[in-house]
Each structure stands twice: as structure tokens, then as C-alpha cells.
Amino acid sequence: MIRRAAAPFLAGILVAASMPPWGWWPLAFVGISIYGSIARSRRETSSFGSAAAFAAGWFLPAMAWMWFLTAPGFLVAVALFACLHGAAARAAATFPTHQHGPALIVFHSLAEVVRLSWPFGGVPLATLAIGQSKSPLAALSPLGGVVMITVVVFWISLSQKKFRAVLVTFVVIGVANAWDPTGDTGRTMRITVVQGGGEQGTHAVDTDPREVFDRHMNLTKSLEPDTARDFVLWPENVINVSATGLFADSREYAEILREAKRLQIPMVVGITEDAGVDAFTNAHIVVQPDGFVSSRYDKVRRVPFGEYMPMRSLLSSLGAPTDLVPRDARPGDGRAWLDIGDERASVVISWEVFFGGRVNEGITDGGGIILNPTNGSSYTWSILQTQQLASSRLRAREQGRWLVQAAPTGFSAFVDPNGSVLDRTDISAPGVIERTIAVREGRTPYSFLGNRVYILALLVWALWLIPRRSRAFPRGAS
């Protein structure tokens, strides 16, 4: 059994190597093509096991960041996603030989679609689209987002007519590159991002929140007033007053207000506040020079096992370290944007950048730029951070907007509407980056259609295949 699992597992390793931080994107096509050959040869004998081994090779390295969040959760997630792809392969195996390839494309794509929203609201990391964020396929983002890129990668890799698949894909890429329904408004914003720096692999329960605040405040104090600057952006939840009460009553509020007055611009900062005995809030707010908090967005999509503990009672009874998340974040229910001066920014906090729909909500409501304040300091290595930056590249291209990412320990960066990363900081290093970016308008096809249309197209494709399979296997045939 181990010997039979080795080949598909190694094929999955190749797909993992296409993901950040390794980023050798052509290997995704090599790995999936090898898996496809194995799947065809074992269609009637071990389709589930081969696909599960393939997915395990893919997800074990590419989702290793979860180990630092929850080791049991990491193992459960890999096993669950391996079983999803195993079930996809088993479903495809029920089709006749000439339909097996298309069925593999459809059902493996649907398995990836499931991951976008289930379990715990979705764990859309280590996706094929993230691995293609630097490839020519990233140009498909404004047309069909993550789902389209996923289907195309499987189509090119598993199709028996690869030349035709590649040719059609490059024609569509050419159209996507030539047609841009978004454009500059003629207005700009000069944004300063502050990254305080500090050690990676730390948890909030083991860290003095004042130290994090002081690192960011000291860098902010080094800024000189500049009439061209529109606002200063701090990362997610570097102002943590959740143990003592509300931000408006804190000493940190007074210090932020002092800097807003000195610089004569808004401070856009991340706060964590108390929300009762068992909960806290995670929000980004705009503090004006007169002290008024003019806009606020509370994070809607929480990180499972990071900001809330699913099945807390069960896990606690099993001895799991649920004390790493002693209280659950209370999710917000507002739309994903902040108003800063005369401009509206689509805002997604950290984890939310992996979900295209969250960004699109702010764009639909008139956002001209995208902000992604984040905090990846809990994770050692750079797997999560590089995959997040890759997702930021995809979100910028999906919407035809500049995206600004701010993190306390990295990566902070500006991403242009073509997905190019500019001024990226180093991990753990303190730093300030500043750039004037264009406020843009218009909406891409993806912004209008979202994921649902493409998911529906996949389901229609699956339903179209099923009756054809039935005709290929008439009743009574064996």
C-alpha cells in the first residue's frame, strides 16, 4: 500500500512546490499531469487512495503553517481535504474511459470549491490559484477569480488534448490582458504604512501588547508632517486593549490622537477591544485629528482556532490547548469598507483577503483602493505570509485596484492593479513604506459575477456528464 501511495504522493509534492514560498508555478501542471496518468491506470482499483495520497502530498507541506496554530487541526484538515479529493476521484472513476478525464477535471475542481466555504466558513489556502499568482494564468483573475484559474489548471493538466487547452487558455489570457473595464479616477492617495517589526512565532497570550504598540508608535513619531500624505496605516490589532476595556478609554487612544494632530491626517489603526467576559472585537478604525472615530469596520470572517475555537468543549475535554484562544472574537456584520477623507477603501482584515467575496463587497459599495491590515506574527517560517501576499496579488487583479497590505512583522507591501508587488518589507524587520497610489473605478466581470456563476457552470458540466455516463453504461451492463 505504501509503495502504491508513493507515486501520487510525490506528484502532490510537486503541486505543493508550485505554491509560495517555493513558487515554482509550472510544477503544478507537472504534478497534476502525473497524478492524472496514475488515476487513469488505477481507475477501477484504487482511485480513492491514489487521489488521497496525491492531496496529502499537496497539502502537508503547503498548509504546514497550520501546525503553529493547531497541530491536531492541521492533521485533521489535511486528512479531510485528502478525503475530499479521494471522493472526487472515486466519483470520476464511475465514468467510462472516454469521459474519465473530463470527470476528473470537474470533480477535483468541485472539491476545491468546497474548500472555499467549508469547513468553518472555508480554508482557502494552498489553492491552485495562489500557486499561479505569478504565472500568466493570473490574468484570468478579473474574469473568473480563483474558480476559473482552478478549473483551467486542472483542464490543462488532465486533458487528453493539452495543446487545444493551452491554445484556448492563451487566447482568453490575451483578451483579459487587452480588456480592462477599470481605470484611474484622476485622484490619488499618499499612504504611509508602519511595520513595527518583532519576533515571529509569538502568541497574543504570551506577548505584552504594549511592546507591540510601542514599536509602531516609535516609528510613527519619526515621521515628519507632510501635506501630501493622506493617512497612516497600522496593521491589524496592534492596539490590544481587550483585557482592559474600550479603545476610547485607553491611554493608547490619547497617544494615537496626539500623532493624528501632529501629522494633521487620519490614523487608520487596528484595535482589539473587550466585548464581555467571553468575547472580544477585532476592528479597523479611522481616527481623525480632532479625535473623532469617523469610520469603523469589524472583521467578519474569523480565523478558526486562531480567533475563535470551534468545538471548544469537546477539544478541551480531549486535552487540546484551547487556552491559546481564551476568548472568541465576535464577528462583525458591517460592509467591508472604511471611509477615509473623501475616499472609500475596501477593507479586509488579515484572513479575509483569502476570500474574494469580502473584497468585492467593498468594491461594490464604491471602494477605489483595497486595504489589507494583517497580523501574521503567530506563525514561524513564511508559508502563510507568502501565500497571503499571493492572495493580495490575486485580489488586486480581480478588482483592478491598488492593494495596500500592512503587517506588524511582515509582509507589508503595495500591490498594483496588475498584481506586481512593490516596496515589500522583510520579515521581522521594522520599517516604514510610503507610496502615492491611484484611486480607481469601474468593475471587472469577476466583480459583477463573483464565484457563484462559475460554480454553477461546474455543476452544470457535472450534470451534463452524468446522463452521458448512464448511456455509456446501459442498464444490465457490467
What pLDDT is recorded for position 477?
A: 43
Residue 398, pLDDT > 90, answer: yes
Q: In one letter, which amino acid is 81?
A: F
Question: How far is it, in rounded angstroms, from Cα 328 to Cα 305?
Answer: 9
Residue 472, pLDDT > 60, answer: no
Mean pLDDT of 264-273: 98
Residue 158, pLDDT > 90, answer: yes
3-state secondary structure of 285: strand
3-state secondary structure of 286: strand
Q: What digits encode the pLDDT tens for the residues 306-330?
A: 899 888 887 777 777 777 788 999 9
| Interior/surface letters 157-181, b for 16+ CB within 10 angstroms, e for the rest | bbbeeeeebeeebeebbeebeeeee
Q: What digits encode the pLDDT tens for the residues 436-456?
A: 999 999 999 999 999 999 999
What pLDDT is recorded for position 334?
A: 96
CB 152 within 8 A of CB 42: no
Residue owning grid cell 479586509: 348
For residue 127, give every residue at least 6 positions away whose Cβ sits within 8 Å of its Cβ, in sequence order, or none.
112, 115, 146, 150
The angle at the Cα of 189, spanning 187 to 191, to the nearest 5 degrees, equals 170
What pLDDT is recorded for position 9?
A: 98
Q: Quick one: cell of 395?
A: 485580489
Name the pLDDT band for 379 (thresholds 50, 70, 90): confident
Out of 121-125, 126-130, 255-259, pick the least confident. 121-125
Residue 291, pLDDT > 80, answer: yes
What pLDDT is recorded for position 305?
A: 86
What pLDDT is recorded for position 153?
A: 98
CB 266 within 8 A of CB 289: yes
Mean pLDDT of 361-382: 93
Residue 247, pLDDT > 50, answer: yes
What pLDDT is recorded for position 205?
A: 63
Question: How far is it, in rounded angstroms, from Cα 76 to Cα 265?
Answer: 47
Mean pLDDT of 102-124: 95
What pLDDT is recorded for position 366?
A: 98
